[in-house]
Chains A and B, each alone.
Chain A
Amino acid sequence: MLRNIFSNSYAKVREINDKYRTPGIEMSGGVKLALFALRLYLICLIGLSFYKFVTLLK
């Protein structure tokens, strides 16, 4: 039963990935730049927050 649930979920996730493979928004220079900056920003801030959380737990 568990195996069925997992394989169904995996299939569903693949279906979602296929459905949303290409972004629907017009990828202008501004949009690309905003998404790139967002990536950098998130990598930095999530890293910092995680660092704080771990050091507080210690």
Chain B
Amino acid sequence: MNIFTRTYYIYRRWLKAVRLFLLAAGPGIIVMVADNDAGGITTYTATGAKYGLHLLWFLVLLGPVAYYVQEMTVRLGAVTKRGHAEAIFSAFGRFWGWFSLLDLVLTDWLTMITEFIGMTAAMSIFHVPRLLTIAVVWLVMGAMIFSGRYWTWEKIALLFVGINLIYIPAAFMVHPAVKDILYNSVVPHFPPGGFTNDLFFLLMANIGTTIAPWMLFFQQSSVVDKGLHEKDIAFGKIDTAIGSVFTVVVAMVLIIVTGKLLYGQPVNDAAVAATSIMPTSRVIGTLIAIGLFDAGLLGAICISLASSWAFGEIFGWAHSLNNKVKEAPWFYAYYFFDLMLAGTVVLIPRAPLVLITLFVQVIATTLLPAALVFLILLLNDKKTMGESVNTRWQNIVNIGIVAVIILLSTMYGISTLFPNMFK
């Protein structure tokens, strides 16, 4: 074989692999980027404004954590061909099944409200009325699923994923010192002031926004709906790894931008951050506002589907995006019900929206250990997983992650009773 034939052979093999990857990719990238939803963007802007670049290392750590957790859902979905809700019911029985389903419904609904809050707040910067924003979102989300094809839905979702990366140019526009970014990204340390209750709350909010129960349900159901098999697991893992890089990059960019432009200012809302940045840089402020709207939309798309898939699996409804509305009426009815209910709450005058936003991340973090424990037990069940059962190394990493999250959640729980504990 001469050099040309060999190069052509290698090139063809790689091209084939890339093509196969592009066919299998989607759920991982979508779930990871949707993870940077409106609540997430708010958390990152608040973190940057309060602590500057000091917590970049924490976000860098959360990337692999999110990857390891989500990668398990890829294997579980591809091997069992069942969604996460059905897997829990089937493995742990009705008590834990209902607990997980109701837990998902509650956190999803609260999170959906925060997505609508984010979207309406972002569009209000451009003087678009709340009602109009919500109506347009309902229309867009309705149009996405009416094709009755998973592929169409996924391509549109990937378009929104692309828009979510709009923040990246903003980081270059604030001219950060590369040395500072590198130092704060790789050297774990607490910001000046030490470990306080505020810092702890923000750390918990960052965990809550990076790993959430809906993500487990969404990615596993998405893997099943897409029809991935065991042979596609490797591609699913790469897909998830790329997504986790995106999610960390977007989070870091937001912290860099707000840490540079709003350091020391009280920011507890991404829309406020965008408005505050406008006088300094109209372009960056606009990018943040557009990104916030897109983040809310992407989050709402995935979260409403996570619940609909879960209900479909348990109640035995047809529950695939490959079904037309006539073929899966209850699946789509629940999808719209969730959407309408969350949007309507935002329109209610004097609804405690800030309190809801605040609590949704924390509730999600508190309930996350349950979802993670189920995941690890399922991934260790040889009968369920066969050859794809967790290896010893995966167990060490995953059990370590769960242990840390449980410890932090418990500390948070105690600190709510004794607020001055970390002061």
Contacts and interface: CB of A to CB of B under 8 A. Distances in A.
Interface of A: 12, 16-17, 19-26, 31, 34-35, 38, 41-42, 44-46, 48-49, 51-53, 56-57
Contact of A44 (B89, B355, B413): B413
Interface of B: 89-94, 96-97, 314-316, 352, 355, 359, 362-363, 366-367, 369-370, 373, 377-378, 381, 383-384, 406, 409-410, 413-414, 416-417
B97 A49 contact: no
Main SS at interface, chain A? helix
5 contacts: A16-B314, A17-B94, A21-B93, A35-B92, A48-B414
Which of B362, B377, B378, B417 lies at the interface centre, i.e. has the most chain A CB atoms within 10 A of its CB? B377
A53 B91 CA distance: 33
A31 B92 CA distance: 10
B377 A34 contact: yes
Contacts of B362: 49
A53 to B, nearest CB: 6
Contacts of A46: 366
A56 to B, nearest CB: 7
Nearest to A48: B413
Nearest to B402: A34
Given A16-B315, A38-B373, A51-B417, 8 more contacts: A16-B97, A20-B93, A24-B91, A25-B377, A25-B384, A46-B366, A48-B413, A49-B359
A26 B381 contact: yes
B355 A20 contact: no
A57 B366 CA distance: 19
A48 to B, nearest CB: 4
A25 B414 contact: no
Contact of B93 (A22, A48, A57): A22
B355 to A, nearest CB: 7
A41 B406 contact: yes
B304 to A, nearest CB: 21
